[in-house]
Every structure is written in C-alpha cells, then in structure tokens.
Structure 1
Amino acid sequence: MDLGLIFLSETVGTALLLLLGCGVVANVSLIKSKGLGSGFLAVSIGWGLAVFAGVTASYSSGSHLNPAVSIALLILGNITFVQFLVYIAAQLVGAMLGALLVWITYRRHFDEEPDPATKLGVFSTGPAIRAYGSNLVTEVIGTFVLVFGILAFTNGGTPAELGALPVAFLVIGIGISLGGPTGYAINPARDLGPRIIHAILPIKGKGTSDWAYSWVPVAGPLIGGALAAALSIALLPVA
C-alpha cells in the first residue's frame, strides 16, 4: 500500500474521529453549551458515531485510526514496520488536527468555562480515582476488547473490513461498560495528540495538561492491542 495514501487517509480519518469525539465531550461539559449536562451516555454514543465517521472516511488505508490496532496488525504480519511508523505518525497528526478544530469550534465556551479540569477533559482522559496501576489495567482491558473484537470479526483483518457500524457499536459498548474508571482512551493517539494541543494552545485558565498521567492512556492501549494480537494467534486461527 502506498505510504502517502496511508498517511493522508489515516490523518483525515483520525481528525474526524477526534473532531466529533472531543466535540461531544465539549458539548456535554463546557459551560453555556447547548448540550451541557447530557451525561456519559451521550459521550459514549458520540464517540461511537465519531468512530463510524472516521472508519468510513479512511477505508482506503484500512481505518486503523489507533496505534493499538496498528501494533496488533504489525505483530500479526499484516503491515510492515515502515508502514506501522507511517500509521502512527498520521494518527498523531490527525488527532492533533481534530483537537485543534474542536478548540476553534468551542473557543468562546472555553473562555467562559471556569474549571481547568473540565477544559482538559475535553482534550484528554483522566481517572475517576487516580491509581496508576489500576488505571493502566483498565485501559489494557478496554483496548483488548476493542482489538480482539475487531480481529475476531474480521478473521485477523482491519476495521475497514469489519465495516464502520460494528466498530462503532463496539466502541459504544466499551464506553458504557468499561469507561467509568478512566474515560476509556483505548487509543494512544486519541489521548496524546489532544493533550499536546491542550499544552500548546493559549486556552484561558487552562491549568496543567496532567503529564503525570499521560503515560497510562498510551501504554495501556498499546499493551492491550499487543495482547489481543498475541492471543488471537492461538484463539482465532485464520481460516
């Protein structure tokens, strides 16, 4: 597969994912937004629909949109290491772009919002109870469910082969069932890219970007994706 196509397709798909995903968090949580107080169910559904849009827009690259998916497919030998690096770079760039567009869309609401934690929560995840070991395990489990589910449904293939709607429902299910402890990043680019944008942007009263926690939503999903790939070799033999 052409590396340029991979980069462009993954960048666009991940940007859409983060625009709509972080966008629903902004809508639900920022002061004076019309969606304020809609709750976690709305966030979970919004992220599922964001995945639907991202997967649909990036089918030409396989719709990874997530380093955890890419590392699983690398382990399974479905992509080369060079392709893996291009996927990761595109996903991070796309995530940053999507987060930037959310800030542009909700800029006046960010200015009005008094709580720095709420502002950061639009961009990146954070634990309900800060306990790094438990938080890491939660992210590993959630991402394992995502990647193992994709591999099971596609016989070792990509989200694009599964189709956008089943992946969207899977993400909604993970959010509703497992999202409470950490906010379910289940995607290193989804958390790291927007966190970088939060750190860079001149957001009024934004506070810190909580870099002390930032390793959890990166390491946990990568471990979960790798475990899903490793176990799929034994439990999901390719027909």
Structure 2
Amino acid sequence: MDPVLTTKFIGELLGSFTLIALGCGINMNLTLKKSYGEGNTSSVTGPLAWGFAVAMAVIVSSPFDTGGHFNPAVTIGQWAAGVFPKEWILTYLTAQFIGCFLGALAVSFIYKGHLDQTASEPAKLLGVYATNASIRENKIQNFSSELLATFFLILIGLCMGANHAGVIIENSTGIPQFTHSVVGFGSLGAIPAGFMIFAIGMAFGGITGWSLNPARDLMPRLVHQILPLKGKGDSDWGYGIVYASIAPMIGCLLAAGIYLIIKPYFG
C-alpha cells in the first residue's frame, strides 16, 4: 500500500476503534445491570457522552491527518461534494469497518460480566451495540430522521471546513486537484465536532438513536450476532441495513448536493 494511504488507514482505524470502544462503552455503562451507571436516564447524558467520544476519536486520529471521518457517510459525502479523492475511498471505508468491529469486540470483553447479568433483557443487549427506533411503526418518520440527521452532519461539516474565515486544513495528497483545502471532519477540531454530534443527538436521538453511520451500527451489530451472549435474541439486521445505513447514505448525498449549490457563496 502507498505510504500515504497506509498512514490514513491506521488513523481511520484507530479513530473508528476509539469511537466505538468509547461509544458502546457509554451505552453499556448506562444500560447494563450491575453497572454503576445503570439507570442514568437523563436526556442529555447519551448525546453529550457520544459527542465527547467523537471528540476523543478525532484527537486520536489527528496525528495521521485523516480528516477524522470514522463514517462511510462522511467519506462518500465529501467525495460527492468534490472535496475528497475517490482513490482513497476504499482505504477509508475498510479502516472504518474494521475499527468499529474491533472497538465493539474490545468493549464486549470488558463488560462481559454485565452483559451476562442483563441476559433477561434482549432489547437492552442489542441496544448497547446498535440503534433502533423508539416507535417501530413510524417507518417513514424513522427513515426520515436518520436521513435528516446525517444530512446535517455532512452539511455542517462541509460548510465549516469550507469557510475560509474559519478552520481549514492544507494537505498534500499527491493528487493534483486535492493538494490544498481538503475538507475533513477532523478539520473542524475535536471540540466543535463533539458539539455537533451532541446537538444532532439532542435533536434526533429520541427517534432512532441517531446512527448517522453504517459502520457504527453494522459492525457492533455483527459483534452482537457472533458473540455467544446469553439471552441476546435477534440482531435485527433489517433495521440496521435500511434505517441505520441506507438512510444515512441518502442523507450524505443530499447534503453534498446542497453544498455544491451553496459552495460559491464561500468565495
């Protein structure tokens, strides 16, 4: 592999691992029986904690200058918006899926005793890994919620990265048209990135748990599927594919389209 892509791969893998190890760890701490965090039902806790998990993942990946995607929707959205090279897509997506899988696997080992204690509640056992809708019957609203939440994630990231009065990165990619002004999620900085996730979670988290990210949902869901968890029940792949994966990918493409329309206003 090209040395530049190797560096990007490592950074995205470590960032994705950090995101899920912390994120699913947050879910397990707040949900599983016998955990000191069990029962913390504040509406702020989950979104705020996940926001900080994203911020920590951005920090971990920053030495590798990846832009801190950790999310196929971010990678594809930036490519569709013309600010990310197509030659890097496969490398980024591979790192994201592997990192998210390993993160979920690691935190499962740490919380094994608590997962065993929660064997009588299969919904909780799946919920600490993957997202789900609070009202399953509202299929159109659930799909729209994930689409719109991801739309805002990508559009806000693109706008902040393209704002020349704000934060922008200068990055040499070796690809002529991408030698400068490469917009990346990490270009927002760790704290703004975390607050963006917090705001989106507070707005839409109550509907579907705001996946925003196929790798974030599908890889922990796969860990739930393959581990011999007591009383775990079904892994609900239909929901994960349609609502937590397809909807975010449509949202990212719509955001890229809007960005291309408004891009001239950034000068």
* TM-score where L is the length of structure 2: 0.86
* Deviation readout 1:67-109 (Å, 9 max, x if unpaired): 1110111112333333111111111111111111111111000
The SS at the match of 1:36 is: coil
CA distance in 1 between counterparts of 2:40 and 2:226 reads 29
CA distance in 1 between counterparts of 2:227 and 2:5 reads 30
Instruction: Name the residue aligned to 1:235.
Output: 262
Moved more, 172-181 or 79-88: 79-88
- How do 1:119-134 residues align onto structure 2 when only pairs under 5 Å count? 119-130=125-136, 131-134=138-141
**Aligned partner of 1:63: which letter?**
G
CA distance in 2 between counterparts of 1:43 and 1:104 reads 21
> Which of 169, 174, 199 is matched with 2:195 structurally?
169
> Which of 45, 51, 56 is matched with 2:54 structurally?
51
- Give the number of the structure whose alpha-carbon radius of gyration is greater: 2
CA distance in 2 between counterparts of 1:51 and 1:189 reads 14
Instruction: Name the residue aligned to 1:13.
Output: 15
Instruction: Name the residue aligned to 1:22.
Output: 24
**Aligned partner of 1:149: which letter?**
I
The SS at the match of 2:143 is: helix
Moved more, 38-47 or 110-119: 38-47
> Which of 38, 41, 57 is matched with 2:40 structurally?
38
- How do 1:108-123 residues align onto structure 2 when only pairs under 5 Å count? 108-113=113-118, 114-123=120-129
CA distance in 1 between counterparts of 2:39 and 2:72 reads 31
The SS at the match of 1:129 is: coil
Q: Is the 8 A contact 2:73 2:249 kept in 1?
A: yes
CA distance in 1 between counterparts of 2:155 and 2:45 reads 25
Q: Is the 8 A contact 2:148 2:251 kept in 1?
A: yes
* TM-score where L is the length of structure 1: 0.96
- Count of equivalent residues: 239
- How do 1:1-239 residues align onto structure 2 when only pairs under 5 Å count? 2-39=4-41, 40-59=43-62, 60-113=65-118, 114-130=120-136, 131-155=138-162, 157-215=183-241, 216-237=243-264, 238-239=266-267
Instruction: Name the residue aligned to 2:177.
Output: none
Q: Which sections of structure 2, spanning at least 5 residues, go unmatched?
A: 163-181
CA distance in 1 between counterparts of 2:79 and 2:59 reads 22
Q: Which sections of structure 1, spanning at least 5 residues, go unmatched?
A: none
**Aligned partner of 1:190: which letter?**
R
Q: Is the 8 A contact 2:130 2:218 kept in 1?
A: yes
Shift of the alpha carbon at 1:180? 0.7
CA distance in 2 between counterparts of 1:4 and 1:193 reads 22
CA distance in 1 between counterparts of 2:100 and 2:197 reads 17
Q: Is the 8 A contact 2:84 2:183 kept in 1?
A: no
